[in-house]
Amino acid sequence: MAITPEALFKYFTSLLEQPKIKEMIQRVKRKFHPVFSIVPTCGKWYGGMCYGAAKIEISSWVLKDAKVARGVVRHELAHAIQDHLDIEGRSHGKEFIQILKTIAPRRWRKDRYWENTPAIKKARVKIYPAKGKVMKPLVDFSEFKVYFT
Ligand SMILES: [Zn+2]
């Protein structure tokens, strides 16, 4: 089942209200209010992207599967919180996993990656065609010729 951008944003804000997550965010005095955007795509292999604690972007194609989309939101939120708390470590290192475990105690293993479900595959192939297939150009200027005189 798909999820609307509004419903996904509502889910994101509901996470911020969860006591354990709230407590984690409030360990530092800084404000935490990342911009939350749905973009056409964050890249072929990126269900989401996090820019420090300032911005979270979600690839539109993950919204085709609500479960996957919520997982991507939890994953990106973990990145944003790691940056917010100024915790060093590799981007998916043990510090990140620790935060992800607080956000998703039961689903953190799954939340490390987004699942390429049939609905998502179908949406992605429109943006990233299968190997060997070439997308038709949006605008084709092949008729254009330059004459030198
Ligand atoms: Zn990540």
Whether 105 maps to a domain, the answer reads: yes
Q: How many angstroms is it from 149 CA to the middle of ligand 1?
A: 55
* Joined tokens for residue 149: 């005189």
Whether 23 maps to a domain, the answer reads: no
pLDDT at 141 over 80: no
Return the sign of the alpha-carbon dihedral for residues 36, 16, 13, 65. Answer: positive
| pLDDT tens digit sequence for 2-15 | 999 999 999 999 99
Of 125, 123, 135, 128, which Cα lies nearest the Cα of 38?
A: 123
pLDDT cut 90: percent of the chain above it: 82
Per-residue confidence (pLDDT) for residue 144, from 0 to 100: 67
Whether 116 maps to a domain, the answer reads: yes
Q: CA 34 to CA 86: how far, in whole Å?
A: 15
Whether 5 maps to a domain, the answer reads: no
Cβ neighbour number for residue 72 with a 10 Å cutoff: 26
| pLDDT tens digit sequence for 44-101 | 999 999 999 999 999 999 999 999 999 999 999 999 999 999 999 998 999 999 999 9
| Matching residue, tokens 């100024």 | 86
Whether 125 maps to a domain, the answer reads: yes
Q: How many angstroms is it from 62 CA to the middle of ligand 1?
A: 15
Range of the domain at 46: 28-145
Whether 131 maps to a domain, the answer reads: yes
Q: How many angstroms is it from 112 CA to the middle of ligand 1?
A: 7
Q: What's the pTM? A: 0.88
Phi and psi dihedrals of 80, rounded to 5?
A: -65, -40
Whether 20 maps to a domain, the answer reads: no
**Tally of domains within the chain:** 1
How confident is residue 134, by pLDDT bands cut at 50, 70 and 90? confident
> Rounded to whole angstroms, what are the CA distances from 89 to 83, 85, 93?
10, 12, 6
Whether 43 maps to a domain, the answer reads: yes
Per-residue confidence (pLDDT) for residue 131, from 0 to 100: 80
